[in-house]
């Protein structure tokens, strides 16, 4: 009986060991499953983090693109520095008449004999130099400009060669200036340029009304020698010392610059032309010379327009244009028939 008990106890212990071994296997299998699950979770987390990093990288890309405009600004600055000046013109308007070119009544008589454009009321007021050499002189019809009646006060300036022969003129159109100023409620002078080398007329007018800090805008256009239509904008750089203007073409490209010297009593203006074709275009650089010559009188011209419009509103006065100006309003097609 004792042997049977021992044998049965042995079998029970063996069963217990086997059961414990089975439990250990179950535990190991559960551990391995958990490890596999944790590894799978780690892999999913890695994938999610990588996918989360991708939009961050894409979000960072605009910062790189945002830096591009700064590079473009640097390129623009370099382009400004690298602008080639194909022609340089100096327009020097004298403050006083103490110049040898102005001395003596005999000189006026000699100039009048050379060219009929030199009238008795002409006063030489300045000199022009192109690329370092004397290009000509500027004269103004002083009597017309000093007229006290604002409705009859006219601005006429003429350009003569070094030898004293007429090259071209610029004059303010009274009628058109009054009409544009009345419409915009601001003094808007209009000019016309007449040249010896061409039959065409070239008008320059103030085009837009801006607040004072934004400056002024003038415009002009013409047909060049190849019958190509050219149009330009003369833009005032207000926040600068002196009177500075940028000339832009139809593509908004700066093709010339007028630099008015600050604290110059008479009026000195430097013209730089950055376009090779326009630098050799006689019409273009002559227009630039004559327009820059008007800048010395720009404030007084606007004051004159204001006074004239005020007088027209208050009184019953009427505008009577000079004969030389009325001819500019005639129909050219009817005259050619």
The tens-digit pLDDT sequence of the chain (337 residues) is 444 544 555 555 555 656 666 666 665 566 566 656 666 666 665 555 555 555 444 444 444 444 555 665 665 555 555 689 999 999 999 876 555 555 455 566 677 777 788 888 898 999 999 999 999 999 999 999 999 899 999 999 999 998 889 999 999 999 999 999 999 888 999 999 999 988 889 999 998 766 666 678 999 998 887 888 999 999 987 655 557 899 999 999 999 999 987 555 568 999 999 999 999 999 999 999 999 999 999 999 999 999 999 999 999 888 888 888 888 888 877 755 5
127 lies in the same domain as 50 = no
In order, the DSSP letters of 172-215 are E-HHHHHHHHHHHTS---EEEEEETT-S-EEEEEEEE---GGG-
19 lies in the same domain as 114 = no
Residue ending a domain, choose from 82, 111, 134: 82
pLDDT for residue 49: 55
15 lies in the same domain as 151 = no
- The residues, any chain, with a CB within 8 Å of residue 292's CB and separated by 6 or more, are 91, 258, 260, 269, 271
pLDDT for residue 242: 59
203 lies in the same domain as 229 = yes
32 lies in the same domain as 116 = no
CB contact at 8 A, 218 and 229: no
The C-alpha torsion from 285 through 286 and 292 to 294, rounded to 10°, is -160
User: Into how many domains does the chain fold?
Assistant: 2
Residue ending a domain, choose from 51, 82, 113: 82
Taking the C-alpha atoms of residue 263 and residue 242, their distance in angstroms, rounded to an integer, is: 7
Taking the C-alpha atoms of residue 205 and residue 221, their distance in angstroms, rounded to an integer, is: 10
CB contact at 8 A, 304 and 322: no
CB contact at 8 A, 120 and 141: no
Domain that holds residue 314: 86-336
pLDDT for residue 327: 87
256 lies in the same domain as 136 = yes
CB contact at 8 A, 260 and 295: yes
Taking the C-alpha atoms of residue 179 and residue 320, their distance in angstroms, rounded to an integer, is: 13
37 lies in the same domain as 100 = no
pLDDT for residue 5: 47
157 lies in the same domain as 301 = yes
267 lies in the same domain as 200 = yes
Class of residue 114 by CB neighbours under 10 A (exposed 0-12, middle 13-18, buried 19+): middle
pLDDT for residue 250: 92
Class of residue 246 by CB neighbours under 10 A (exposed 0-12, middle 13-18, buried 19+): middle
237 lies in the same domain as 279 = yes
Residue ending a domain, choose from 82, 97, 126: 82
| CA 81, chain centre distance (Å) | 16
119 lies in the same domain as 139 = yes
User: 3-class SS at 106?
Assistant: helix
Q: What is the pTM of this model?
A: 0.72
283 lies in the same domain as 327 = yes
């Amino acid at each position: 009986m004792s042997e049977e008990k021992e044998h049965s106890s042995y079998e029970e212990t063996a069963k217990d060991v086997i059961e414990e071994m089975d439990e250990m296997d179950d535990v190991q299998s559960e551990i391995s499953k958990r490890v596999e699950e944790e590894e799978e979770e780690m892999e999913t987390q890695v994938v999610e983090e990588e996918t989360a990093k991708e939009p961050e990288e894409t979000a960072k890309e605009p910062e790189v693109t945002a830096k591009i405009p700064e590079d473009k600004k640097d390129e623009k600055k370099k382009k400004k520095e690298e602008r080639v000046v194909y022609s340089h013109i100096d327009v020097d308007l004298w403050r006083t008449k103490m110049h040898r070119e102005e001395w003596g009544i005999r000189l006026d008589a000699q100039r009048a004999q050379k060219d009929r454009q030199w009238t008795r009321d002409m006063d030489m007021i300045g000199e022009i130099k192109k690329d370092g050499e004397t290009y000509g002189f500027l004269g103004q019809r002083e009597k017309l400009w000093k007229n006290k009646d604002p409705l009859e006060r006219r601005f006429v300036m003429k350009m003569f060669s070094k030898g004293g022969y007429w090259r071209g003129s610029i004059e303010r159109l009274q009628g058109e200036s009054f009409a544009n100023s009345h419409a915009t409620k601001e003094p808007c002078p209009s000019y016309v340029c007449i040249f010896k080398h061409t039959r065409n007329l070239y008008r320059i007018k103030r085009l837009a009304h801006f607040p004072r800090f934004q400056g002024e805008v003038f415009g002009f256009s013409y047909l060049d020698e190849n019958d190509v239509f050219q149009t330009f904008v003369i833009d005032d750089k207000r926040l600068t010392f002196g009177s500075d203007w940028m000339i832009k073409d139809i593509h908004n490209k700066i093709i010339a610059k007028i630099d008015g010297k600050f604290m110059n009593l008479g009026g000195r203006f430097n013209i730089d032309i950055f376009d090779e074709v326009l630098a050799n275009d006689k019409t273009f650089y002559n227009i630039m010379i004559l327009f820059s010559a008007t800048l010395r009188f720009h404030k007084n011209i606007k004051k004159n327009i204001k006074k004239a419009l005020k007088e027209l509103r208050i009184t019953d006065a009427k505008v009577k244009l000079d004969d030389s100006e009325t001819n500019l309003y005639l129909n050219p097609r009817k005259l050619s028939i």
